[in-house]
Amino acid sequence: PLVSMKDMLNKALEEKYAVGQFNINNLEWTQAILGAAEEEKSPVILGVSEGAARHMGGFNTVVKMVEGLLIDMNITVPVAIHLDHGSSFEKCKAALDAGFTSVMIDGSHHPIDENIEMTKQVVEYAHAKGASVEAEVGTVGGQEDDVIGGIQYADLNECVRIVKETGIDTLAPALGSVHGPYHGEPNLGFKEMEEIRDAVNLPLVLHGGTGIPTHDIQKSISLGTSKINVNTENQIAFAKVVREVLAAKPDAYDPRSFIVPGRDAIKATVIGKIKEFGSSNKA
Ligand code: G3H
Ligand code: ZN
């Protein structure tokens, strides 16, 4: 069933595992992720960036596609459709009006007072619809769609303020993670993560899940991280297999002959992440 992230993440925080947010790009991506979650009996969050939503036709198309797959695939695990890195109140509102059950309002590139102001507006609108809200403080490095940025660690006082003043359901404090592959090992701010966890008492989100080693994943979960976002790793898995299939069969033209192996690669990657995050059999 379609649900918000609220109960999912509070349960994860309590029982010390993380729910994966896996970004979707199209039908096959969504099939792969839903299939993996159902097989693992795991809750799952479908992340949809503004660019990916545009690519798929729009927020309404995304919701109808996911709703259709939930029925046709007999999905029984909890599923959230979540706007990833929403850039404005208007974008969040449009996603929520289309039926998204969760949104991230990413005001992290604005001064903190503006970030709080836009987040507050989104919370009011989303909560009235029973949807959940994620906000970000500090900035994640690397590039995702239209959002480019350098790393800036989250400030503890700003984290406390945004939680108290807006009523968000979950907070993404940027602590050294990066969108896209890491160059060398990531350098996550675990001390800061612990301080923020103790001060805000909310499930935390870790962006830039691609390429974070298992020991850092485990440590993050032990310090209050309840949601981990993964995007690039699935893209790499898909592209690698499709390249291999097309190289082996240069005359192939039925799209299913190379998209299906790519879809299977995404599913296998997601199953691996779900196991690593400890959310198997938590549905
Ligand atoms: O919001 C999405 C993520 O933070 C994805 O990061 O592409 O490095 O896995 P990633
Ligand atoms: Zn992100």
CB 210 less than 6 A from any atom of ligand 1: yes
**Is the confidence at residue 253, as pLDDT, over 90?**
yes
Strand partners, 228: 20, 206
Tell me the per-residue pLDDT of 128-175, one tens digit each, with 9 for 90 and over: 999 999 999 999 988 655 555 678 899 999 999 999 999 999 999 999
Ligand 1 atom closest to the Cα of residue 181 is: 8
Note the pLDDT of residue 223.
98
- Distance (angstroms) between ligand 2 centre and the Cα of 252 equals 35
CA count, 13 A, side-chain hemisphere, 250: 1
Tell me the per-residue pLDDT of 10-51, one tens digit each, with 9 for 90 and over: 999 999 999 999 999 999 999 999 999 999 999 999 999 999
pTM: 0.97
Contact 181, 232 (CB under 8 A): yes
Tell me the per-residue pLDDT of 53-84, one tens digit each, with 9 for 90 and over: 999 999 999 999 999 999 999 999 999 999 99
CB 230 less than 6 A from any atom of ligand 1: yes
User: Does 84 qualify as catalytic in the annotation?
Assistant: yes
> For the residues 200-229, what does the mean pLDDT come to?
97
- Distance (angstroms) between ligand 1 centre and the Cα of 209 equals 6
Note the pLDDT of residue 148.
53
Please choose, from the candidates 211, 225, 213, the residue with its C-alpha nearest in 3D space to the C-alpha of residue 174. 225
Note the pLDDT of residue 149.
60
- Which stretch of 24-28, 86-90, 138-142, 220-224 has the lowest confidence by average pLDDT? 138-142
Q: What value does the mean pLDDT of the chain take?
A: 96
CB 209 less than 6 A from any atom of ligand 1: yes
CB 270 less than 6 A from any atom of ligand 1: no
Q: What share of the chain is helix, strand, coil (3-state, %, to 5)?
A: 50, 20, 30
CA distance 92 to 98: 10
**Is the confidence at residue 85, as pLDDT, over 60?**
yes
The residue whose CA has the least distance to atom 10 of ligand 1 is 208
CB 139 less than 6 A from any atom of ligand 1: no
- Distance (angstroms) between ligand 2 centre and the Cα of 180 equals 9
- Helix (H) and strand (E) counts for the chain? 11, 11
Domains in the chain, CATH or no CATH each: 6-277 (3.20.20.70)
pLDDT-above-70 percentage for the chain:
98
